Amino acid sequence: MSPAARRIVTEARRVVVKVGSSSISGANTAQIGPLVDALAAAHSRGVEVVLVSSGAIATGIPYLNLDARPTDLATQQAAAAVGQNLLIFRYQESLDRYGIVAGQVLLTAGDLEHATPRSNAQRAMERLLSLRILPIVNENDTVATQEIRFGDNDRLAALVCELVHADLLVLLSDVDAIYTKPPHEPGAQRIAHVPAGDDLAHVELGDIGAAGVGTGGAGTKIGAARFAAEQGVPAIVTSTSAVDAALRGDDVGTWFEATTAD
């Protein structure tokens, strides 16, 4: 990470962090603790942190006695209803170690596309942050239909950045960076820096990651990071295990340079 990029990270006062389902559910549920450690460390430095967390459906699946992600919308909604409650409880239980209170914010695409609900969401988020509450945002899967879904929480995180006028977006997954091709393939090289306006057309994208519980992949990370960058918000794409290093400005992941206003 260049000195200029590191300075942007360390001086960021409002940060949106997005974590995917596979990183904090199932066998990886224990990663909630280290993730919260990193968020709490940033919070203690005075940073206003917004967490966009997937995982409601994945968390609810075992409690519906299912062995895989359901394909029909009604069962997805049922799994989300059960899982969202458990997911927030797990986050709050971990945040209690630091005396930090979480606030649950559930959104649909329609909420951010229409002026009144968008204004309401923005006002609530601003008040939560001013009270030093840590908002935890997720798609409102219980009411979202196929027509009004974000499709993945990477896009939601980028839109939340725009909503709250964030200084930085951090997108987390199971992979430590964006690579020129799927990282398990020979010759794959980490992309450390993406200049403003680079569409990364040369990148070979692979399949969606671990366990099939998420809906995002490298392509959605790139799309979300580029959207944020075009709005003037730089982004880091890295692994959940590297979140503390990313928030401290260490040279990890892939840095998406923000477009500057003319």
Q: Determine if residue 44 is labeled as part of a ligand binding site.
A: no
Phi, psi of 139 (to 5 degrees): -65, 140
Helix (H, G, I), strand (E, B) or coil at 30: helix
Model confidence at 100, in pLDDT bands (50, 70, 90)?
Answer: very high
Q: Which residues pair with 173 in a beta bridge?
A: 239
Six token digits for residue 238: 């890295």
Is residue 208 predicted with pLDDT exceeding 50? no
The predicted structure's pLDDT at residue 143 = 80
Residue 210 has a CB neighbour count (10 Å cut-off) of 16
Q: Determine if residue 167 is labeled as part of a ligand binding site.
A: no
179-194 pLDDT, tens digit each: 999 888 999 999 999 9
The candidate with the shortest Cα–Cα distance to 124, out of 15, 50, 53, 56, is 50
Q: Determine if residue 120 is labeled as part of a ligand binding site.
A: no
Q: Determine if residue 153 is labeled as part of a ligand binding site.
A: yes
CA–CA gap between residue 166 and residue 15 (Å, rounded): 6
Q: Could you tell me if 168 and 234 are in contact, meaning their C-beta atoms sit under 8 angstroms apart?
A: yes
Q: Determine if residue 18 is labeled as part of a ligand binding site.
A: yes
- For the chain, the average pLDDT equals 90
Q: What is the mean pLDDT of residues 89-103?
A: 98
Is residue 149 predicted with pLDDT exceeding 70? no
Model confidence at 87, in pLDDT bands (50, 70, 90)?
Answer: very high
Q: Could you tell me if 207 and 173 are in contact, meaning their C-beta atoms sit under 8 angstroms apart?
A: no
Which of 143-152, 225-234, 250-259 is the least confident region?
143-152
CATH of domain 3-256: 3.40.1160.10
